Structure 1
């Protein structure tokens, strides 16, 4: 299935689902707690995963760790069946990303694990399963997720409101700098003298640190709701009230305004939301089917 708007977000959703699952390999001279299609999961693997849980604030305990390792064994097995391999470079990149997200060095990350009694191999095992399962999801599960365009059209139309049925060409007038009260005063003064987009730049020259930016064409559904509502009440040549933004004080001027229903952006949001929900459900079902067909023996 060709990747849709939601497809870009789907990778994040997949990793969010599978990073809470994962895979460990057998260790010699250990007591086997459970076998999954002949693959042993040892008591030491379970104990190591429980310690990793503790570092993460996860209180699922031994039972949760065992279930996670069972899922991982199935994920790794399915990945192999589909020809998916996970390289050491992929594992290293995943570890690097975790370090960056935590704003620590990799050495610091390893030290944090060791302080909790967890070896880096325990985390690598989980990452290996997560990466493998991500590939399985993209290859075997994502193509099964279908989102109806007709249903999206109908839902988008039902969500559209009157103030969203406009297309604009806009200019932004921004008074740059700190001191929002002083900047707002100048912005209001500018607004009182504003006579249309054609003279916007010339008018700005009378003010300190005032800039006029061509925003270009925007549909109402691309704008924050409060701004879209205000713009809907303005005619061509109108200008919004000053708003404090990160860089100063901003206003939007209406250069052109036409009646136009555009469902593109509403549908994009709906597609991402529904696609991700559907994908999560399919991922769960796929794993549940693997478990149903597996031979899982507890010792």
Structure 2
């Protein structure tokens, strides 16, 4: 099996698992799960986030969900490796929900149900079948509901606070076109990425081990790239399944660029270490940059470039917004 087949492709990876972590909730109909709570037995506090808490049962249920939907090896060592990423993600969700509340942005059960219906349709499943799959895998509806609610809330925050402030000038587009002219004849790469940064909470060995585990699952075909990226990546495009888009010379780390030059379209690159962390890169496509002002439809090109710049800035500013929320929040890890 080659790498392209092993990744199961972006379009045909086992659909249930591609979307399982990021959007599967409340599949028992239109019942509200907002009032349900996880098992309160022997409850302890894992983390305090301003006026909210994350409990041990919430954390354990999330770990279970991640391991089920990502098909990672179910052993204590892997659970230990992924624990810090999961707890950080749960802290981010608390901050996202708090910011939405501060701005008066609510997420209704109806909105979540509508989103679920769309996802079930994309996965060619009816809601009852979806619900049965969740039940079989022991995935908590409450855990999923909280995650999806945070995602919807954060989208609303971005739409209100960031998108109106994205400004793209003619000079921005002209500079990007000039770059295309300079790079004409060289290769560019359509990539997706899972980025695991170095941090103070985890040893480098743990991050390397997690990167290798994720890579192994992708190569074996047991998990899809988009789902793992949504779950684990801390890089640009994580919410879109790790998709970065087309990159050219000088836009990625030298070690990544060197590996891309040797790879073929459809290849999954083994974890690459940079100064920032580990990168698992999927080379979706590769082509020679072509630019001929005599034959290029400039109106179309300028529109495409403007859209690319806008998406890049939106993603960058959304991540900066979340970092700012973290820097001003009271966050205490207790267990």
State if a TM-score over 0.5 links the two structures. yes
State the aligned residue count.
Answer: 183
Between the aligned partners of 1:293 and 1:56, the Cα distance in structure 2 is 33
Aligned mates of 1:106, 1:262 — CA distance in 2: 45
Q: In the alignment, is residue 283 of structure 1 matched against residue 318 of structure 2?
A: yes
TM-score under structure 2 length normalisation: 0.50
Tell me how far apart the structure 2 counterparts of residues 144 and 58 of structure 1 sit (CA, whole Å): 40
1:26–1:41 contact (8 Å) kept in structure 2: no
Say whether residues 1:152 and 2:173 are aligned partners. Answer: yes
Report what 1:37 is aligned to: 50
Q: Which residue of 2 aligns with 1:240?
A: none
Partner of 2:26: none
Structure 1 length-normalised TM:
0.55
Structure 2 partner of 1:296? 331
Gaps of 5+ in 2: 1-18, 24-33, 73-80, 183-293
Contact 1:110 1:120 in 2 (8 A): no
Runs of 5+ unmatched residues, structure 1: 1-15, 162-258
In structure 2, the CA distance between the partners of 1:261 and 1:47, relative to structure 1 (3 Å rule), is closer
Give a deviation string over 1:111-151, Cα, whole Å, max 9, x none. 22222221222211111001000000000111232222222
SS in 1 for 2:107: coil
Residue of structure 2 aligned with 1:127, choices 148, 165, 168: 148
**Contact 1:26–1:40 (8 Å) recurs in 2:** no
Deviation of 1:102 after TM superposition, in Å, equals: 1.5
Compute the displacement of 1:46 (Å): 0.9
Which aligned pairs between 1:78-227 and structure 2 lie closer than 5 A? Answer: 78-156=99-177, 159=180
Cα distance, 1:111–1:100 mapped onto 2, change above 3 Å: same
Contact 2:37/2:142 (8 A) holds in 1: no
Partner of 1:269: 304
Distance (whole Å) between structure 1 residues aligned to residue 102 and residue 70 of structure 2: 34
The CA deviation string for residues 256-295 of structure 1, in whole angstroms up to 9 with x for no partner, is: xxx8975211011111111111111111100001001110
- Shift, 1:96, TM fit: 1.2
Match of 2:187 in 1: none
CA contact (8 A) 1:75 1:133 kept: yes
Query: CA separation in 2, counterparts of 1:26 and 1:63?
Result: 23
Give the superposition deviation at 1:65.
1.7
Taking a change above 3 Å as real, the CA distance of residues 133 and 92 of structure 1, as seen in their structure-2 partners, is same
Measure the CA separation in 2 of the matches of 1:85 and 1:134: 11
Aligned to 1:86, the other structure's residue is in SS state: coil
Q: Report the Cα distance in structure 2 between the residues aligned to 1:58 and 1:143, rounded to whole angstroms.
A: 39
User: Is the radius of gyration larger for structure 1 or structure 2?
Assistant: 1
Decide which of 62, 66, 77 is 1:53's aligned counterpart: 66
CA distance change for structure 1 residues 105 and 34 in 2, over 3 Å: closer, same or farther?
A: same
